[in-house]
Amino acid sequence: MRNNQTPMAKEYPGQTVTKHLDQMVKQWDSNIVCRSEAGRFTGGLVSPKTLSNADALGKGPKPRFRYSGKVAYPATAIAEYLAPRLELEEMGDSDGLV
């Protein structure tokens, strides 16, 4: 990459992460996500246990709904919960790897 070229991710990492999270929400088939489906919703990034632990500490996605022993969140709440926790990594040199 030339010196005068800057990847978008370096200039606007929050916007890039937000774009991917927005896409995740749009592709989900409902406005809510049951905690047991958190892994499927996030592509395996977050487990239901992680959300349960975060809720127990008062640090989970807000708001949450409880029905018949199940917990669910608005899909956007999980995306907002993830946004500050995600790290955007750039693909760099291969460091000698093929």
Q: How would residue 17 be classed by pLDDT, with cut points 50, 70 and 90?
A: confident
Q: Residues 29-54: what's their mean pLDDT?
A: 96
Domain locations in the chain? 11-85
- The per-residue pLDDT for 12 is 45
| Extended beta strands in the chain, E state | 32-34, 65-67, 70-74
Whether pLDDT at 27 is above 60: yes
Whether pLDDT at 1 is above 70: no
User: Exposed, middle or buried, 6 (CB in 10 Å: 0-12/13-18/19+)?
Assistant: exposed
Whether pLDDT at 35 is above 50: yes
Of 37, 27, 21, 36, the residue nearest 77 (C-alpha): 21
pTM attached to this predicted model: 0.74
